[in-house]
C-alpha cells in the first residue's frame, strides 16, 4: 500500500502528545496530523523553539511524518469557535489569524512537515461574497509568502458551511490569487460525501494535481459529522484504490484519520481505523510500506 496513513492528534486529546505519538508508531501509522492547540502543542506558549525541537526529535525517533493542522477550535479566542477567522470584519482580528498561520508555517518547516493545513472560516453576517473573498485573499497573502519562502505548501481545506466549502471554491481561490505555487488543497473524504456533487472517488481523481494533504473518515450525505469507519455511507475500497495511485501524480503527503470528537475512545479508534483501512486497501495482502 503506497498510502501513507496518519492519525490526527485532535482525536487523541486525552493523551499526552509523547504518548499519542508513541501509540501511533506502535500501531503502524506512517505519520500524524499535528493540530496546533493548547492540549498538545500550543503555538502561542513560551519556549516555542525548544518545544518544536523536542517534537521534531520525537517524530524522527519514531519514524513518523507530519502535517501541521490549524483547525483548533479555541486557540486564538476562548469564547469563539475558530475565531477570529480569515474573514473577520475586524482587520486586526484577521491579522491575528494570519500571524498564527505564518507561525504554523515556521513550525512546519522546523518539523520537516509535508504541509500546513488551514480553512477559510464562515462568512460573517451582512458580508457579501465579494467582500468575503477579498478578505480571504488579502489575509492569505502573507501566509503564501511565508510558505513560498520555506518551501512548505499551504493546503486549504474545503469545509462545509465555510466560504470555501467545495472543490469549485478552491479553484475560485486559485484564480483570485493568481494560482501561486505554494497554494495547495486539503481533501477531506468525508466532506466529499457530505456535499460535493461528485462521488468521493471522483473527487480524489479530480483533486490529484493540487493535493497536499488528505483527511479521511466516514460520513453521511448532507450531514457534517465525522464518523468512525463503517458508520457512514462511503464506499471505501474504490476511494482507497484512488488514493493508492496518488503517488503516481507526485503526492508524498499523508492520509490522516480525522475524528476530532472521539478523543474519549482515541486509542481504540486509532487501532480499529488502521485495521479497517488496511483491510479495505487494494493491496491489503501486502505489508505496510512503513
Res 249: pLDDT = 86
274 in Cβ contact with 3 (< 8 Å)? no
188 vs 104, 145, 157, 163, 262, CA distance in Å? 20, 25, 7, 16, 17
146 vs 6, 82, 183, 262, CA distance in Å? 25, 22, 11, 33
**Residue-by-residue pLDDT tens, the chain, 290 positions:** 689 999 999 999 999 999 999 999 999 999 999 999 999 999 999 999 999 999 999 999 999 999 999 999 999 999 999 999 999 999 999 999 999 999 999 999 999 999 999 999 999 999 999 999 999 999 999 999 999 999 999 999 999 999 999 999 999 999 999 999 999 999 999 999 999 999 999 999 999 999 999 999 999 999 999 999 999 999 999 999 999 999 888 898 999 999 999 999 999 999 999 999 999 988 764 444 43
76 Cβ neighbours under 8 A, 6+ residues apart = 83, 84, 96, 97, 100
User: Residue 202: which of 258, 241, 165 has the closest Cα?
Assistant: 241
3-state secondary structure of 186: strand
End-to-end CA distance of the chain: 9
Measured distance CA(20)–CA(266) in Å, rounded:
9
Amino acid at each position: 500500500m503506497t498510502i501513507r496513513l496518519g492519525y490526527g492528534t485532535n482525536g487523541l486529546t486525552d493523551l499526552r502528545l509523547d504518548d499519542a505519538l508513541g501509540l501511533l508508531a506502535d500501531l503502524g501509522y506512517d505519520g500524524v496530523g499535528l493540530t496546533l492547540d493548547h492540549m498538545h502543542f500550543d503555538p502561542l506558549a513560551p519556549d516555542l523553539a525548544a518545544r518544536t525541537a523536542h517534537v521534531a526529535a520525537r517524530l524522527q525517533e519514531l519514524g513518523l511524518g507530519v502535517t501541521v493542522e490549524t483547525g483548533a477550535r479555541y486557540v486564538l479566542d476562548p469564547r469563539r469557535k475558530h475565531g477570529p477567522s480569515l474573514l473577520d470584519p475586524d482587520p486586526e482580528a484577521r491579522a491575528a489569524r494570519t500571524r498564527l498561520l505564518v507561525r504554523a508555517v515556521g513550525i512546519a518547516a522546523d518539523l520537516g512537515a509535508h504541509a500546513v493545513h488551514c480553512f477559510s472560516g464562515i462568512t460573517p453576517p451582512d458580508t457579501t461574497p465579494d467582500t468575503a473573498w477579498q478578505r480571504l485573499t488579502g489575509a492569505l497573502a502573507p501566509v503564501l509568502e511565508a510558505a513560498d519562502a520555506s518551501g512548505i505548501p499551504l493546503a486549504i481545506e474545503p469545509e462545509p458551511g465555510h466560504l470555501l466549502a467545495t472543490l469549485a471554491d478552491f479553484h475560485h481561490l486559485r484564480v483570485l490569487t493568481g494560482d501561486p505555487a505554494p497554494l495547495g488543497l486539503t481533501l477531506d473524504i468525508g466532506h466529499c460525501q457530505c456535499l460535493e456533487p461528485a462521488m468521493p472517488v471522483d473527487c480524489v481523481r479530480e483533486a490529484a494535481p493540487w493535493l497536499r494533504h488528505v483527511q479521511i473518515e466516514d460520513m453521511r450525505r448532507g450531514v457534517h459529522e465525522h464518523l468512525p469507519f463503517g458508520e457512514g455511507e462511503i464506499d471505501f475500497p474504490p476511494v482507497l484504490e484512488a488514493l493508492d495511485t496518488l503517488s503516481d501524480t507526485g503526492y508524498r503527503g499523508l492520509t490522516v484519520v480525522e475524528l476530532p470528537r472521539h478523543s474519549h475512545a482515541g486509542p481504540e479508534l486509532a487501532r480499529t481505523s488502521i485495521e479497517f483501512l488496511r483491510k479495505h486497501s487494494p493491496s491489503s495482502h501486502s505489508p505496510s510500506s512503513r
